[in-house]
Amino acid sequence: MRYLFTLIALLLTLPAYTSETTKYNAKANTPIRTLEKLDITKAKVINLDTPIFPSSSDEVVNFLDTNQKAGVVYILLNSPGGSIMDGLAIIEKMQAIRPYTQTICVITGEGAFSMAAVISMYCNYTFMQKDAALMFHDASISMSGEVHQMKSRFAYLVSWLDGFHRDVAVQIGMPTAQYTEAIKSELWFTAQQASAQNLVNGVVNVLKHSAPPLSSTMRRSIFDFEQSEKEGSHICVEY
């Protein structure tokens, strides 16, 4: 009961979700806030602390599907990124359950990089631990298969990425051309910078949770992550 009242109090202080102007959660005009302590030990939580590939994506999608009527679920993001297609599966499931359940992402550990950073933009609310980082960069695409299939898939992915890049550029107040140029070499944000740029709703000083590591994939740091785990996919788009 005490946890329920704490959760209700937290949600009442969060800004209303709006989606009319962007394809992801609009965090603009959100007051910068610091949560001294976030205790989610009794909440519905999954710990995405691995690269994003079919096995890890399936675990997160299954978790969201199982808890689609929970009201609030948490995703802890501490990932070097991975496959765009597998990341999109997570994003699509978050959007599908949005009428019933809010997804709150908390960027932990080293941080959310590449496709994990993209996922954080689509949560209803996103917070960062004070020592975590957020990083965007350009996508790396490799394909195999029939030419007409690869052409249609490539066109879809480029169109989706162009729209996402435009949205993020607007969010941080940067011209799209400047943003797309910046991500060619990587665009990094500390927790305080991400909060100031409206990329997250606030900073968490102390996070308390009991979510176990994700079982599907060995944890890798962003600094030693090798983009070699294809898991038999005919199209591998890594972000």
Alpha-carbon distance values, 156 to 93, 150, 160 (Å)? 19, 10, 6
Residue 158 — φ and ψ, nearest 5°? -65, -40
Domain boundaries, the chain: 2-214+233-238
Mean pLDDT across 142-152: 83
Is the domain defined by 2-214+233-238 classed in CATH 3.90.180.10?
A: no
State the pLDDT at residue 168: 84
Mean pLDDT across 84-100: 93
81 touches 107 (CB < 8 A): no
**pLDDT per residue as tens digits for the range 181-237:** 999 889 999 999 999 888 999 999 889 988 888 865 455 544 444 444 443 333 444
- pLDDT over 60 at 42, yes or no: yes
* pTM recorded for the entire structure: 0.77
* Number of helices followed by number of strands (H, E) in the chain: 7, 10
DSSP secondary structure string for all residues of 74-128: EEEEEE--BBHHHHHHHHHHHHHTTTT-EEEEEEEEEEEETHHHHHHHTSSEEEE
Judged by average pLDDT, the poorest of 1-10, 58-67, 79-88 is 1-10
